[in-house]
Amino acid sequence: MAPIDVASSLGNGTVSKSESASWRIALVLEYQGSNYQGFQAQRDTPTVQGEMDQALEALMGGPIKTWGASRTDSGAHALGQVMAFTTQVPYPADVIARALNARLPADIRVQGAYEVEPGFDPRRHASSRRYQYHFLERDKHSALWRHFAYQVRGPLNVEAMGRAAACLVGRRDLSAFSSSPWTCTGPEVLQAEIQRQDDLVILAIEAQAFRP
């Protein structure tokens, strides 16, 4: 998943350290999620946020509260998920990124770090979220794609899938798929399309939000 338009979400750059005794840092994460039960921290369960919190605590010398742009399912991967935290340790953002990558497991990496305004919230300020679902159209199991695609046997009707995906675009009531009530009429699906790349079929869907 690559849920955030980073350029529009993170604003216009550096915040002066003279303005406050604490600073909010936004991180852009890339991770291979096969070993984790999603992004959000859970007790006694490996998660991406849990690993980030441990690495930040070791770097900053104490507990750090973090916020993520969105939760993900178990095994989901990310190309550009944004999270944020507030710290009183005045490390430059690029130093934080390098230090975290030295402490994180190899399947989680910080691809960018930025000083942002104190009120920046990666969830509320995300312009959109974009997900991709991969279907591997192949008879034999794949050693390389087994963590990245759902394998199907037999031909997929890509044209029919494309027509069905187009019906999702617009404002839709998806409350039946959520255990929590929506506080609005429903999210706006901005794009939904099907692409074929050889024996790989990709559903790409982008929306303002997928859950309340």
Helix (H, G, I), strand (E, B) or coil at 111: strand
Helix (H, G, I), strand (E, B) or coil at 54: helix
How far apart are the C-alpha atoms of 65 and 56, rounded to whole Å?
A: 9
Instruction: Determine whether 107 is an active site residue.
Output: no
How far apart are the C-alpha atoms of 26 and 95, rounded to whole Å?
A: 13
How far apart are the C-alpha atoms of 164 and 121, rounded to whole Å?
A: 34
CB distance 83 to 40 below 8 Å: no
Residue 143 half-sphere exposure toward CB, CA atoms < 13 A: 0
How far apart are the C-alpha atoms of 190 and 196, rounded to whole Å?
A: 20
Please report which helix (H) or strand (E) contains residue 95, including its range.
helix 93-103
How far apart are the C-alpha atoms of 115 and 107, rounded to whole Å?
A: 24
Catalytic residue among 5, 44, 53, 73: 73
**106 is written with which tokens?**
């190899």
- Among 155, 137, 140, residue whose Cα is nearest residue 202: 137
Would you name the residues annotated as active-site residues?
73
